[in-house]
Structure 1
Amino acid sequence: MRLLAGTGCQMFFSAGYMLTAVFAIYVDNWRNLQLALTVPGLVFFCYWWFIPESTRWLLNQNRISEAKNLIKIAAKQNRVTITDDLLDNLLISDVKSDDQQQQNKANVLDIFKHSNLRKRSLIILFDWFANNITYYGLSWNTNNLGGNPYINFVISGAVEIPAYTFLLLTLNRWGRKFVMCGCMITAGLALLLTMAVPDDLQWLTVTLAMIGKLAITASYGAVYIFSTEQFPTVIRNAGLGAGSTCARIGSITSPYINVLAKFWGPLPLIIFGSLALIGGVMSLVLPETLNKKLPETMEEGESFGKKLKVQIDEEVPLNPELAKQAKIQTNGSIHSK
């Protein structure tokens, strides 16, 4: 259900995005507008009493009794009967050994100690930056597109709904990499085309910008799922946090790039389009994660997506059937004699 949960939530984000324009129409003082948009956020403090802790995380921390209670609550809500013996056996199988617990102490800096994981991580971090700077750059560039800025802002939010619907229909069919890379490249090309639009065809610039916004929104939704599946379990949340940090650098930078429109109108769109295009092309080297066993340890994360190397001792004959089986293995290196 990762796709539905991750993408469905984004649609509510888009609804709030469009409501921002409605608030701005009726609350003309910017201080009052800021207050009106911020105060509802206080409601989320009540989540502290409703959102359970991760059972897997509790097990990794050896807080087994708390994990048992959470599973019992979940079983009760789902009308499932689970005996204490079954629960004990289930949890014992998930309790980590000392070596595994040491693995769980890995931090995000460890991704830079392994060549393959480091290469993939740097591409993913750039994707987060490129998606975020393009997304927010286009969101905050509506005043430079011409026409009514409120209507442009609502349209900019409305195109996100079909973008997320597109993800729901394709991510589990076409694959994460194909969808994300295709959307980033599409966004990049659409935004780069704005430099060729004459000044008297303002509607065409707005259309291309909205196509770019639709495509980058789909890509932004896909990067949440695709990037986290690239990281091994022991640092998956940390990897997501690192990507989100790079994304915030992009959102901080985007308003300053929009200011460049004073020198040449299409310049911000060209910069955003170039970053999106570069990110989409670079990501073509990342391994697909759809229907793949995701890495859990740092070693599995390093070997994930690597091409297999088979070494065979020429001096000792090898059964042809065994050789065939060795070649179809998917992880690590095989030394067969």
Structure 2
Amino acid sequence: MLFASGMCLLALLAYLLRDWFYLSLATSLPFILLFGYYWLIPESPRWLVGRGRVADAEKVLRNLAKRNGIILPHGFLIELHKKIKADEDTDVLIVPNINGQIPGKEDYIDRRISNMLPYKPDFMKINESKESLDKTITDASQNSRTDLEDHNDEMSKSEEFTSLEEQQKSVPVDYSSSINTFRRKSIQIVNKILLKEEEDIVEKKRMDDQNSEGDCKASPLDLFRYPNIRKKFLILTFNWIALGVVYNSLSYNTPNLGVNDYLAFFIGGAVEIPSYFIALQCMERFGRRWVLCVFMSVGGLACLSCALVPEDWPWITVSLAMLGRLCAASSFSVFYVQIGELLPTVVRAQAMGASSVVAGVGLLTCPYIVSLADHSRSLPLTIMGVLSVVAGITSLFLPETLNQPLPQTLEDGESFGRDFKLLSCVDTR
């Protein structure tokens, strides 16, 4: 709303100064004060945790809590991390591989602080009767024995199990008994068969290694290494380009509406103020993707409708153009929330910066689109309308983020929204 108010103020300054030089000074010199933000704004605790800087994140959280009248003890974040690490170490499943060898413990517990609070989707639990579960455990045990016999023909069955028991005892892993180990292993096998999990184990391990070891060195190139993250990043970048071109072209197209330039620009800033109220209420109730789709589509149709209005009815054209600008402003407010919620924390700032740069290059087309009004007054609005409608449709290919945990690691970003339904809606009950 302050941004929209600034647009109205800009129209007033331009009307009063009437000189581009003084207008440039009036709109640039005050921003020198914004360099003071470096000492005033703290770093994001999520980003600090994702980079392994737990102590710095704790300091920020303690300062924020203090301002809200809450006292947090020293070391609470590190203690929380240690507790989660201890729980993960207890739940580690150690099973022999096909060669009868047991991997080292460090292969399982060498995880970084970036996994302290990861988003992990819930897995379905299969309720089986005791007889069915016991039968599954027996089958898993027999299959394991068969594999060991085929691989090591010279060893007898008793020697195989004795060797396995000795190897298992040599690894300092804290789990209750081999029965529980086989039980957990059998449940994994049942989940693999009955749920038809298509996730490749090797790929999952590679992503887990990237999650634990590479998140602290994540770069924008990681956006293109995983298909789901890459798809979301490209769609978000296209939507940013479309929104930027439509919004700025509507601003630059003010002189082509057939009314006073200063008045049209002032009205354009004024209509944005209610747009943020509308966007806030809609996206908190109906989600992000459908609200973005509706706003961009309605704004695009409003711009396309200008081609049907005669040129001697300028205020009808102004009304439709302002409706398109209201929808474009609402779409921008929804889009900024959506892009921050879809991208993982470790690359969020870098990815948004990269998208912003690409969108900035797309803005170079705005003056050329507006100049097409020399041939037809409605032609620039027609191009904006088509671009807005297309961007509204592509926004449906992004998953919903309302009431969902933010993806923090690269693994979270890759798994988030992988299997959503295209026409799914938010449950508003």
User: Do they superpose with TM above 0.5?
Assistant: yes
Structure 1 unmatched ranges of 5 or more: 1-10, 309-337
Provide the C-alpha distance between the structure 1 equivalents of 2:80 and 2:250, rounded to a whole number of angstroms.
Answer: 49
Provide the C-alpha distance between the structure 1 equivalents of 2:419 and 2:56, rounded to a whole number of angstroms.
Answer: 42
2:355 to 219, 236, 243: 243
The residue type equivalent to 1:203 in the other structure is W
| Structure 1 residue 208, shift from structure 2 partner | 0.8
Residues 221-260 of structure 1: CA distance to partner in whole angstroms, max 9, x if unpaired?
1111112222222222222222222321233321221111
Residues 194-218 of structure 1: CA distance to partner in whole angstroms, max 9, x if unpaired?
1111121111111110110011110
The residue type equivalent to 1:218 in the other structure is S
Residues 118-166 of structure 1: CA distance to partner in whole angstroms, max 9, x if unpaired?
2222211110000000001001111110111111001000110111010
**Are the structure 2 counterparts of residues 170 and 24 from structure 1 closer, same or farther at C-alpha, using a change threshold of 3 Å?**
same
CA contact (8 A) 2:235 2:395 kept: yes
Percent identical pairs in the alignment equals 42
| Structure 1 residue 29, shift from structure 2 partner | 1.4
Q: Does 1:270 align with 2:288?
A: no
1:152 to 257, 264, 270: 264
SS in 2 for 1:96: helix
| Structure 1 residue 106, shift from structure 2 partner | 2.3
Partner residue, 1:206:
318
Moved more, 288-297 or 259-268: 288-297
Moved more, 100-109 or 147-156: 100-109
CA RMSD, 1 decimal? 2.1
CA contact (8 A) 1:131 1:276 kept: yes
Partner residue, 1:22:
12
Residues 175-208 of structure 1: CA distance to partner in whole angstroms, max 9, x if unpaired?
1001101011111111111111112111111111
Partner residue, 1:325:
none
| Structure 1 residue 60, shift from structure 2 partner | 4.1
| Structure 1 residue 275, shift from structure 2 partner | 0.7
The within-5 A match list for 1:1-337 is 11-90=1-80, 92=82, 95-96=113-114, 100-307=212-419
| Structure 1 residue 65, shift from structure 2 partner | 4.3
Provide the C-alpha distance between the structure 2 equivalents of 1:117 and 1:54, rounded to a whole number of angstroms.
Answer: 22
* Aligned pairs, number: 298
Structure 2 unmatched ranges of 5 or more: 85-111, 116-208, 421-429
Provide the C-alpha distance between the structure 2 equivalents of 1:302 and 1:67, rounded to a whole number of angstroms.
Answer: 25
The residue type equivalent to 2:408 in the other structure is E
**Are the structure 2 counterparts of residues 296 and 33 from structure 1 closer, same or farther at C-alpha, using a change threshold of 3 Å?**
same
Provide the C-alpha distance between the structure 2 equivalents of 1:46 and 1:307, rounded to a whole number of angstroms.
Answer: 44
Q: Which TM-score applies when normalising by structure 2? A: 0.65
Q: Which TM-score applies when normalising by structure 1? A: 0.82
| Structure 1 residue 61, shift from structure 2 partner | 4.1
Provide the C-alpha distance between the structure 2 equivalents of 1:74 and 1:147, rounded to a whole number of angstroms.
Answer: 50
Residues 4-47 of structure 1: CA distance to partner in whole angstroms, max 9, x if unpaired?
xxxxxxx1111111100110111111101100111111111222
**Are the structure 2 counterparts of residues 91 and 297 from structure 1 closer, same or farther at C-alpha, using a change threshold of 3 Å?**
closer
Q: Rg larger in 1 or in 2?
A: 2
The residue type equivalent to 1:96 in the other structure is S
The residue type equivalent to 1:273 in the other structure is G
CA contact (8 A) 2:303 2:381 kept: yes
Partner residue, 2:183:
none
The residue type equivalent to 2:351 in the other structure is G
| Structure 1 residue 290, shift from structure 2 partner | 0.9
Moved more, 50-59 or 213-222: 50-59
Provide the C-alpha distance between the structure 1 equivalents of 2:350 and 2:256, rounded to a whole number of angstroms.
Answer: 37
SS in 2 for 1:279: helix
Moved more, 161-170 or 87-96: 87-96
Residues 280-318 of structure 1: CA distance to partner in whole angstroms, max 9, x if unpaired?
11221221111223333323322322238xxxxxxxxxx
CA contact (8 A) 1:172 1:290 kept: yes
Provide the C-alpha distance between the structure 2 equivalents of 1:158 and 1:119, rounded to a whole number of angstroms.
Answer: 36
